[in-house]
Structure 1
């Protein structure tokens, strides 16, 4: 870490320098940062400046300040809530962007699913088959299969073996879920959704990326057109 340059706003500078340390791996997720007194001495600033800097990092989702015995500033272990909040705030400020956001999902997720067609393992195919059977059994019992139908997409994106693609899809899905009060399929015909999932799974078995992309695009576009009432 470095001392503060006098020409800069002190709490912002401290926040920036601490952020750089975290991103470089000096402090790992879940690790405790130095206490306020030590940070104050190191940066040659007051403890109130340190508290302001930590507040900035907390708002960015990089640091969590715990109270009580054993508390203090810790590097966040899960930055998903902060990223999710950023998505939600953008959509909440401009409700008209919800349709654009849904359309972006309909463009991105089929492309990601096409990647899955090339990387999916036999074990993951088996997991999708188990999921489809669980969905069918729930529907035959007259129960909701929505959780299984949602899990289908999670299994699929995780089969890309790329955690950043999985994060993108999860962020978009969680944001749309909170904004619309659904996960995109809660009010749809479960049997029809399951039929489309089976078609996608058949294309995955054949490792046909182009067909997976086309089927996924039609599947998601149909869901969001009905959910958002668009043509």
Structure 2
């Protein structure tokens, strides 16, 4: 990619009646348009702040403000260090999910929401996800789910990969729904809540959840939305009950 994005010189005078934008907003809008139009592609490294300041005929602090705004919108990511810089971020449901996850993480840390609220919303979103997955699934989707089931079956409950496999299972089903917004929200809620991390894992619980996963996959394979709804609802209710019991046990003060 050329190092020059816009060699436009000083901003043009506004058209009569047109809103006058601050230089920072002009830079932000121009870079956003370049990303969304495909002039800047995923993974592209933006020119340095100094070079962007020259191209836009503005100060480096103005460029820095514009880049920070674009980073908060999930359009670019900043990488520190000698080989770092500002890079164009993927504009897809995963990127959206990561933004929502970050916001959810801050709310949890600040006490703005609690894990029960997240678990409830997850259920509201994952039930339709499973139903849509049963309707829209492909053979490749089924193969992906069976690979995850095999990995889960071959690991013990104390394996550190169990939490990641559980997340992949639920996120894969959401992706299979065909609704990218739904998939991004499930991604965010599941990644942030990490339901397995709130469970007192035991071999019995591991066997129960694995059997529930099997029933969900069977319903999706059979393209039976009603069975998928029943299976995922049963599974999520089971998890919520065990999470609540585990959290209650941790808050009991010894006499």
Fold-level similarity (TM above 0.5): yes
1:23 to 36, 42, 64: 36
Q: 1:156/1:184 Cα in 2 relative to 1: closer, same or farther (>3 Å)?
A: farther
- Unaligned runs of 5+ residues in structure 1 are none
1:187 paired residue number: 201
Deviation at 1:150, TM superposition (A): 4.2
Q: CA deviation at 1:43?
A: 3.3
Q: Deviations over 1:134-169 (max 9, x none)?
A: 434445xx8658354444324433433554443322
Task: For 2:112 and 2:244, locate their aligned partners in 1 and report how far apart those are by CA, in whole Å.
Answer: 12
Q: Verify: 1:211 aligned to 2:223, yes or no.
A: no
Q: Deviations over 1:178-206 (max 9, x none)?
A: xx7x4555636111112212222222232
Distance in 1 separating the partners of 2:184 and 2:49: 33
Superposed CA RMSD in Å reads 3.4
Segment of structure 1 superposing worse, 159-168 or 19-28: 159-168
Q: Unaligned 5+ residue runs, structure 2?
A: 1-5, 248-255
- The counterpart of 1:117, out of the listed 134, 143, 146, is 134
Instruction: Supply the distance in 1 between the matched residues of 2:58 and 2:112 (Cα, whole angstroms).
Output: 42
Q: Secondary structure at the match of 1:74?
A: strand
SS in 2 for 1:195: helix
Counterparts of 1:53-132 in structure 2, within 5 Å, are 53-66=66-79, 71-77=84-90, 79=95, 81-132=98-149
The answer as to whether partners of 2:100 and 2:185 remain within 8 angstroms in 1 is no
Structure 2 counterparts to residues 25-44 of structure 1, below 5 A: 25-44=38-57
Mapping for residues 43-54 of structure 1, pairs under 5 Å: 43-54=56-67
Equivalent-residue separation in structure 2 for 1:44 and 1:207 (angstroms): 58
Measured at CA, do residues 36 and 136 of structure 1 come closer, stay the same or move farther in structure 2, by a change above 3 Å?
closer
User: Following TM superposition, by how much is the alpha carbon of 1:208 offset from its aligned partner in structure 2, in angstroms?
Assistant: 0.8
174, 191, 200: which one aligns with 1:174: 191
Answer yes or no: is 1:226 the counterpart of 2:242: yes
Does the CA-based 8 Å contact 1:149-1:194 persist in structure 2?
no
Say if 1:173 and 1:183, in contact at 8 Å, map to a contact too: no
TM-score by length of 2: 0.70
Q: Return the alpha-carbon distance in structure 1 between the equivalents of residues 76 and 143 of structure 2.
A: 39
Alignment partners' CA distance in 2, 1:105 and 1:87: 13
CA distance in 1, matches of 2:146, 2:79: 43
- What is the count of residue pairs matched by the alignment? 225
Q: Is the 8 A contact 1:103 1:221 kept in 2?
A: no
Q: Deviations over 1:27-78 (max 9, x none)?
A: 1111133443443244332222112222232333322344566654322248
